[in-house]
A and B are shown apart, each in its own frame.
Chain A
Amino acid sequence: MSVPQLRIAHEIVGNAVVVHVAGEIDMANAPVIKAHLDRACHRAHPPQTVVADLTEVVFLGSAGLSVLLEVDEACRGRRTPLWVVATTPGVVRPLRVTGMDQVLKVADSLDSVVQTA
């Protein structure tokens, strides 16, 4: 085993450009996630939103948290806000522990975000 397993899929749902991520996010694959989220950010046009659907992510380390902060800033600049869908303890806990749940738009289900969008 080397780089942690990761599955990524893009989808347009309603007014949202969604990136579904499944697996573990750490320094080994954070740049890959960043590239996918950047792509979604560039595909989206106001009033569309970008959604990082982390429902199936079981580990989110600081490298992944940094990516979310950077993509959030880029998305704000383009007026296509980033939503993060976090349901698993491996994602919810690091967001809470670092205070990032107060900085990012965090939702507890994809449906609620897509409806918000």
Chain B
Amino acid sequence: MAAPDRRAGVDRDREAVTADPTRLRIDHSTDGDVTLLEPRGVLDLGTYPHLRDTLIKSAMEQPRAVVVDLDSLRIPTEATLSVFATVWMQVSEWPAVPIVLVASNPDDREWLRRQAIANVVPVLATVREARESLDDPPPRRRAALELPCSPASAALARRFVSETCQRWECAETLPAATTVASELVENAVRHARSEPKLSLELRSGTLAVAVYDDDPAPAQLVRTGRVQSRHLGLRLVANLARAWSCGPTWSGGKVVWAVLRIMSRIG
């Protein structure tokens, strides 16, 4: 890794504009229940999206943690480090997979720890240290349902949410969870023209509703002053959920998820 003070003589703005995304290769491996990413090349505005999407896709697989080895990554400007904060913000509510940075050089670690991202993403010396720093994963229950690309899937999704929430004894969240699941499944059928996969995940205090589809185009909520007949589905989701977002998946599609607050406890 090379921090900015060890780099000279480059027109950074020009580089950002002409940056070639192929200049960042990200090696991807698993170490037990942890995903290890090794970005090789340069992190700049051109390669930022590639690293961001790879981090999100990796987190969506729900490993115990995503560990990023920065030893082969050049970081010409500290501004691009915000990629780690951006991803952390997007995945912290769900799937809440920790992201840990590893830098073997003590100077690099010191430099990283002085940056704002160190508040949310720990910086450690080795992958082993990173692994040892992890807390035990929180207790959770999961259930998933694969649905056809059909308007009838929304009703199937609502039945599934209803049965699952009753089994999990979190029936108080049923009205919101049913609506959120129904709307996300309808969007996957109507806009993404996909066979949606609905996933529910119960943790202490939250129920996450996630719907996977085959379309990488992100779900977007257009905020307008007046009520319009378009976008009502996501407006419902946004107003019922504590948080919602979407991200790319390794299969080339996306997952849209919403996290609901519940009273029930598990574990």
Question: Chain A residues in contact with chain B, CB under 8 A?
Answer: 1-4, 24, 26-28, 59, 61-63, 65-66, 69-70, 89-90, 93-94, 97-100, 102-103
Q: Is B175 a contact partner of A103 (Cβ separation < 8 A)?
A: no
Q: Is A94 a contact partner of B236 (Cβ separation < 8 A)?
A: yes
A61-B183, A62-B183, A90-B175 as given contacts; A27 in contact with B151, CB under 8 Å: yes
The answer to whether B189 has its CB under 8 Å from any CB of chain A is yes
* A66 to chain B: closest residue by CB: B229
The answer to whether B186 has its CB under 8 Å from any CB of chain A is yes
A5, B150: Cα distance in complex, Å: 16
In the complex, which range does the number of interface residues on chain B fall in? Answer: 20 to 34
The answer to whether B253 has its CB under 8 Å from any CB of chain A is no
Q: Which chain B residues lie closer than 8 Å to A63 at the CB level?
A: 186, 233
- Pick the residue among A3, A61, A90 that contacts B152 (CB under 8 A): A3
Interface residue stretch chosen among B35-43, B154-162, B164-172, B258-266: B154-162
Q: Is B232 a contact partner of A65 (Cβ separation < 8 A)?
A: yes
A63-B186, A90-B175 as given contacts; A28 in contact with B155, CB under 8 Å: yes
The answer to whether B74 has its CB under 8 Å from any CB of chain A is no
Least CB distance from B53 to A in Å reads 28
- Pick the residue among A4, A69, A89, A97 that contacts B236 (CB under 8 A): A97
Q: Which chain B residues lie closer than 8 Å to A89 at the CB level?
A: 175
The total number of A-B Cβ pairs within 8 Å is 77
Q: Is A97 a contact partner of B154 (Cβ separation < 8 A)?
A: no
Complex interface bits, B163-185 against A, C-beta within 8 A gives 1, otherwise 0: 00000000000010011001100
Least CB distance from B224 to A in Å reads 11
- Pick the residue among A26, A66, A94 that contacts B154 (CB under 8 A): A26
A1, B156: Cα distance in complex, Å: 8
A59-B178, A70-B229 as given contacts; A98 in contact with B155, CB under 8 Å: no
Of the candidates A63, A93, A102, the one having the most CB atoms from chain B within 10 angstroms of its own CB is A63
Least CB distance from A78 to B in Å reads 18
Least CB distance from A72 to B in Å reads 10
Of the candidates B179, B228, B232, the one having the most CB atoms from chain A within 10 angstroms of its own CB is B232
A90, B178: Cα distance in complex, Å: 10
Of the candidates B186, B229, B235, the one having the most CB atoms from chain A within 10 angstroms of its own CB is B229
The answer to whether B227 has its CB under 8 Å from any CB of chain A is yes
- Pick the residue among A26, A66, A97 that contacts B240 (CB under 8 A): A97
Q: Which chain B residues lie closer than 8 Å to A26 at the CB level?
A: 151, 154-155, 158, 182, 186
The answer to whether B141 has its CB under 8 Å from any CB of chain A is no
Q: Which chain B residues lie closer than 8 Å to A94 at the CB level?
A: 179, 236
Q: Is B232 a contact partner of A4 (Cβ separation < 8 A)?
A: no
* B235 to chain A: closest residue by CB: A98
The answer to whether B86 has its CB under 8 Å from any CB of chain A is no
The answer to whether B239 has its CB under 8 Å from any CB of chain A is yes
Least CB distance from B138 to A in Å reads 29
Least CB distance from A8 to B in Å reads 17
- Pick the residue among B158, B179, B227 that contacts A100 (CB under 8 A): B227
Q: In the complex, given contacts A26-B158, A69-B229, A98-B236, what are 13 additional A-B residue pairs having Cβ atoms less than 8 angstroms apart?
A: A4-B155, A24-B155, A28-B155, A61-B154, A61-B179, A61-B183, A61-B186, A62-B235, A63-B186, A93-B179, A97-B240, A98-B235, A103-B227
Q: Is B158 a contact partner of A62 (Cβ separation < 8 A)?
A: no
* A60 to chain B: closest residue by CB: B179
8 Å CB interface, B127-157 against A? 150-152, 154-156
Q: Which chain B residues lie closer than 8 Å to A61 at the CB level?
A: 154, 179, 182-183, 186, 233, 236
Q: Is A93 a contact partner of B175 (Cβ separation < 8 A)?
A: yes
